[in-house]
A = this chain, B = another copy of it.
Amino acid sequence: MSSKARGAASSRSQDPIRKPLDADAVATAAFELFSRQGYNATSLDQVASALGISKAAIYYHHAGKEAILRHGLDAAMAALESMLQEAVFQSTANPPLDRFAYLVRRGSQIGLAHKATVEVLLRLKGNSEIERSLLKRRRAFDAAAAAILREAVTTGDLQAGSNPTVLASLSIGVINTLVEWYRPDRAIPAGELAEVVVRFVMSGLPRTGTERI
């Protein structure tokens, strides 16, 4: 944060001692802007001046704008996918709804921890080959979540006649939307928020006389 404050201040030449930039640092600064303004609405000039370097210097670290996008989103998707593996392959002794709750909790935590990248990930529209490949991975994620709920229907934990695909989309949608409005300076800390999300997904609005689990 201190390095960002300095960078934002401006011309980095006035800052004799500072950590040398690397690909990650450039990507982090870029995603901060991508998430606030949108990918297309952000120019490399803005990224450069946020870092206190010139636009051309960015090309030393990344092949181009899309390369930055891929760099950051690859990392975010990898984190989410490895979490999904944990959730899916958790002891099958655990009821499916427990595994789903785990997925929602961890998904919220990861989303909040990687807020900027995840926010960009969620706004992809498939306008390039890179975006389409990321979207494909995202859909695989959704499908895996739906599979857990489908299992919950067969075990009878979820009401017969429920639509697992739709319910999974709604549940994951809560996480997605969460990432868009949460600001770290909020009254409620991120850790608690993940729990609120889990309760909301499992039980909806906390009405009186309906305490469950």
Contacts and interface: CB of A to CB of B under 8 A. Distances in A.
Interface of A: 36-38, 40-41, 97, 100, 123, 125, 127, 149, 156-159, 162-163, 166-167, 169-174, 176-178, 180-181, 187-188, 193, 196-197, 199-208, 210, 212
Given A123-B123, A166-B188, A196-B166, A171 B205 contact: yes
A95 to B, nearest CB: 11
Contact of A196 (B158, B163, B200): B163
A177 B202 CA distance: 18
Contacts of A156: 208
Given A38-B38, A38-B125, A127-B38, A170 B174 contact: yes
B206 A203 contact: no
Given A174-B174, A174-B177, 5 more contacts: A38-B127, A40-B40, A123-B123, A173-B173, A203-B204
A163 B192 CA distance: 12
A183 to B, nearest CB: 11
Number of copies: 2
A99 to B, nearest CB: 13
Contact of A177 (B37, B38, B169): B169
A158 to B, nearest CB: 6
Q: Which of A162, A166, A174, A205 has the most CB of B within 10 A?
A: A205
A104 B187 CA distance: 25
Q: Which 10 A-B pairs have the closest CB atoms?
A: A173-B177, A40-B40, A204-B204, A203-B204, A159-B206, A202-B204, A38-B125, A40-B41, A41-B127, A170-B200
A162 B206 contact: yes
20 contacts: A37-B125, A37-B127, A38-B38, A38-B40, A38-B127, A149-B205, A157-B208, A162-B205, A167-B200, A167-B205, A167-B206, A170-B174, A170-B196, A171-B205, A173-B176, A174-B177, A176-B177, A200-B204, A202-B205, A204-B204
